Structure 1
Amino acid sequence: MTRPVETVAPDDDVSDVLTRLAKADFSGFPVVEDGTVVGIVTETDLVDLFQPSDRRLWIPVGFPPFIETMTYGVDLSWSDLDVGVDLVKSAGKPIREVMVTDVVTVSPDDTVETVIDHLADPGRDINRLPVIEDGELVGIISREDVLRTLSEHDVAV
């Protein structure tokens, strides 16, 4: 496991966390409040905020006084503008609004097999597991950590 663990707080701004992730060599943070893990936030959670959504502009067409109009839906590709608008709308949001609260954790005494089972769970897309001991966050294990360890110890899988 990796320690110490870099964490964020539930009230940290999305923009601040995005900035920290951009400089980090990992892709997610445990969210900790009063020493307890209350969530996890990943690049994917944050990128989802800024994906251009289906924006459709509805234009009424007709002659004044528009008694009989036809409405046309024009699909606009706003890409950069759309992302910019989403960024401005989401930048001040607290992480608590985007974090995942159903966090899978392990203890320092769990086996490598248990860790691998969690990381390989087809029903979840887990890349990291907070390690909890006596209710406190003591480390984190990523998929990369497991693969590196297996490779270093030349373990046949």
Structure 2
Amino acid sequence: MIEKLKSIKIAEIMTRPVVCTSPDSSAYDILAKLNSTHFSGLPVVEDHVVMGIVSEKDILQLVLQGKNLKTTPVSEFMTRDVVTADQDCAILPLLKAFIDNQVLRLPVTHQGKLVGIVTRHDLLKLIIDSTPEFPVIS
């Protein structure tokens, strides 16, 4: 299985187009978008460049802080130090990035621009699909 994973590039498993948001969106807008898409987080993008990432956890922290979700812009609470992956990167370094950074999703870039997103779920599905002896439950 390791040999097969070495030959697969992130571009082959990433999701695109990416549901994202802008830095000036309100926390309430993000909450509505997360609810309607069933995603747990979104990249924050400006001119196709990843500026940050926002998650359900960030929204919950705002609620605990008593912030007004309708007037608090994403730029005030997003995570700014975002780990990204290049679309031409192989899967094994991507697995390491997920483990080392303890993230659920990684924006995928090409020449600095957002082109996709990959999640832990995408990686788990790839591992299952790449393992012929893995039992299929129907």
Matched pairs, number:
120
Counterpart-to-counterpart distance in 1, 2:132 and 2:80: 34
Among 18, 34, 48, the alignment partner of 1:35 is 48
Q: 1:105 aligns with which of 53, 75, 84?
A: 84
The one-character-per-residue Cα deviations of 1:48-89 (angstroms, maximum 9, x if unpaired) are 1113x6xxxxxxxxxxxxxxxxxxxxxxxxxxxxxxxx25x2
Amino acid aligned to 1:119:
F
Partner of 1:11: 24
Q: Deviations over 1:1-46 (max 9, x none)?
A: 0000011000001101101101112211110012211101011111
Shift of 1:155: 7.1
- Identity among equivalent pairs (%): 38
- For 2:128, the equivalent position in structure 1 comes to 151
Unaligned runs of at least 5 residues, structure 1 = 54-85
| TM-score, structure 2 normalization | 0.81
In the TM superposition, structure 1's runs of 4+ consecutive aligned residues that sit over 2 Å from their partners are none
Residue 98 of structure 2 corresponds to residue 129 of structure 1: no
- 1:73-92 to structure 2, matched below 5 A, reads 86=66, 89-92=68-71
Distance in 2, Cα, partners of 1:155 & 1:46:
40
Q: CA deviation at 1:91?
A: 2.6
User: Which residue matches 1:2?
Assistant: 15
Larger helix percent:
2
**Structure with max Cα Rg:** 1
Q: 1:96 aligns with which of 75, 79, 100?
A: 75
Residue identity in the other structure for 1:105 = T
The higher-RCO structure (CA 8 Å, 6+ apart) is 2
CA distance, structure 2, for counterparts of residue 11 and residue 104 of structure 1:
21
TM norm structure 1: 0.72
Q: Residue 57 of structure 2 corresponds to which residue in structure 1?
A: 44
